Amino acid sequence: MVRAGILGATGYTALELIKILLRHPEVQITAVTSRQAGRPPIASVHPQLTRRLDLPLEDLDAQALAERCDVVFSCLPHSASASSVKAIADAGVRVIDLSADYRLRDTASYEQWYGDSHHDPDRVGKVPYGLPEYFAEEIRSADVVANPGCYPSSAILPLAPLLKMELIEPDDLIIDAKSGVSGAGRTPKLQTLYAECNESLSAYNIGRHRHTPEIDQVIEMISGQHVEVVFTPHLAPMDRGILTTSYARPRGHATETSILGALREFYMDKPFIRVVDHLPATKDVAMTNYCDMTVRSSRGRVVIVSCLDNLVKGASGAAVQNFNVMFGFPETTALI
């Protein structure tokens, strides 16, 4: 039995993670941390866990966690995660980090996009990116894994193989994505209050969204090509889910049929990628670890539609998928 700890256990991704781990036959959750005063039970913060997990929330003590955990999932915010991950990993515990602190390959990019110095700079660029569809070998032996962002997963998974197979042009890529409100986290913010976002659809952070360099970097790593991406995120009035519509120019004689067939063949043995004929919707993948995608042609453009659950394949499900790879369990354990 693998002993697991969860840092920052009071958020949405932590709750989703706990629910998945509770049905994992090879995991025992041994610690949940938070800065909540008084060591309250985790079920007082997440009532869904009543009579399912009786652990108290505790302060983060890296050495104490190292004695009680074989793996730690960090659900701490960006910039706050790396210092804790460093201490825990240095103590010999494997870590899956759900923040963005290890996703970018150099500290200069991190500091530019996240506005803070990195607290574990020696590991930057050496931590595998947590998409098992591409990086399973590196993930398998890693001490720390950088779990992907939700928007990036929804864009990288459909676009990277088409670029790798030279079926679309690498420049002039347009990514239009809509996310449910849970993607903004549980901390109250004006723009995510019910009265602000209900019955409304809005774009935000155009040209400034922190997932932009992550999308660029990983697509280039996989495809071996320099890409030019315009990424526009939107906030949609729903709890969960991401729908991403990407636009590209076909390369050579690529057609809708040939591109769809190529995607099917590429992902044939990947259990969580479903290449479908119909136009997928967020409800098709809600509360699952699947990413659904399809292709259409329109006015000389390739239109790729993909969707996933931002809290599962976009966060906690992907983390458990990485965990399964790291510890040698079937990739689908607890996820299907």
Catalytic residue ranges: 150
Closest by CA position to 69, among listed 21, 36, 35, 37: 21
Q: Which residues are CB-contacts of 181 (< 8 A; sequence separation ≥ 6)?
A: 192, 197, 235, 236, 237, 238, 239
Residue 248 CA, chain-centre distance (Å), reads: 23
Nearest to 301 by CA among 261, 259, 268: 259
Please give the Cα distance from 200 to 194 (Å, whole number): 10
Contacting residues for 22 by C-beta, under 8 A, at least 6 apart: 29, 52, 53
Q: Which helix (H) or strand (E) holds 291?
A: strand 291-298
Q: What single-letter DSSP state applies at residue 250?
A: B
Parallel, antiparallel or unpaired: strands 71-74 and 202-203 = unpaired
